[in-house]
Homo-oligomer: A and B are copies of this chain.
């Protein structure tokens, strides 16, 4: 990697936009396995003789010297290079194109003063959650996460939910205060929506019930949600001045289903989408955990200011670099894009993010362009 290459890469990003950039954003780094010179630092091979001596010593004292160290001349360098090549291939592929992209805005039609959305619950037999890796997904409108529903405080909304699944289902508006009959819990607030049926939810979004919410199945939910029946439901305040200012926003929905594994917005690294910003921008990230495990999300390079929890502005925002998000929780954070570069951004349960074969799962990057 050279500074020039990195600048070209970032420049290209700025010109093309991320969506157009396709795969290979990070190929600027490590183009050549042998090219390890950096401007400010040096990588020096250790002297050949010293490790050899250590190795002998280690063998002699085997079992008694806790400080015996591996020798580099007994190392299987082929295996090392093979492992590193797998790691590199993953990074070079990022953001890898895959079929299907969830979380895009859901169009609506107006019926008088009511915004009418349509969701169809569908099985997708082959959801490409990582390049060339497929799992059956249960989706709203063919994607997971389902399309983003975005309305404004006070809006009247109607959501027509049609069930094309092989099971009954129902939709819960997680975080929204709705009339009881619209709450989406089979046999408590409604009958289940059986295969082939349509159920119509209708409610007015309450004053003050703004922020980052979710919708998901509430029937056989441990299976249906982790398989993909989930999406973001975002309520913008009527008066934007009531919410901290930001220049761009991203929603990161976390899932950890038995099928498809650890995903951000339905994709595992390197098929995850990066968080992109220009230097100096304030970036809003909306975290939503739809999985069964906690995920402490760690951003490199810049801190996160936590401003809202479950849609409620915190009376006292706080700073962190690793934010723990439990199932069902949402957090809004502001990141000031003060540091140019490509910054790793991942769940810090490291087994959700990296294996011997390289990074996977809950990993993305924040890319700050000059």
Contact = CB atoms under 8 A, between A and B. Distances in A.
A51 B318 contact: no
Contacts of A67: 122, 124, 142
A318 B312 contact: yes
A75 interface: yes
A321 interface: yes
Interface in A31-89: 33, 35-36, 38-46, 51, 54, 58, 62-63, 66-77, 80-81, 83-84, 87-88
A167 B46 contact: no
A355 B365 CA distance: 35
Interface string A8-40: 000000000000000000100110010110111
Contact of A191 (B30, B222, B293, B312): B30
B166 A75 contact: yes
A197 interface: yes
B83 A167 contact: yes
Contact of A350 (B222, B312, B354): B222
A244 interface: no
Interface string A74-112: 111100110110011011100000011000000000000
How many copies altogether?
Answer: 3
Contacts of A215: none
Interface string A320-345: 11101011110000000001111110
Contacts of A35: 191
A89 to B, nearest CB: 9
A316 B316 contact: yes
A69 B164 contact: yes
A350 B221 contact: yes
Interface in A303-326: 303, 309-312, 314-322, 324, 326
A308 to B, nearest CB: 10
B84 A186 contact: yes
Given A125-B62, A312-B318, A327 B222 contact: no
Contacts of A33: 191
Given A51-B164, A350-B221, A321 B315 contact: no
A40 B159 CA distance: 12
Contacts of A317: 315
A222 B354 contact: yes
Nearest to A127: B66
A225 to B, nearest CB: 6
A154 interface: no
A261 interface: no
Contact of A189 (B72, B163, B326, B342): B342
A237 interface: no
Contacts of A205: none
Given A84-B194, A91-B187, A318-B314, A222 B355 contact: yes
A196 B72 contact: yes
A349 interface: yes
26 contacts: A29-B189, A36-B197, A41-B199, A43-B193, A46-B196, A51-B196, A58-B125, A66-B124, A70-B166, A83-B220, A84-B194, A87-B187, A88-B187, A92-B187, A183-B343, A183-B344, A188-B344, A221-B350, A292-B349, A292-B351, A293-B349, A294-B326, A310-B322, A311-B321, A324-B326, A327-B350
9 smallest A-B Cβ distances: which pairs?
A328-B348, A180-B341, A72-B196, A322-B328, A312-B319, A324-B326, A222-B350, A69-B122, A91-B187
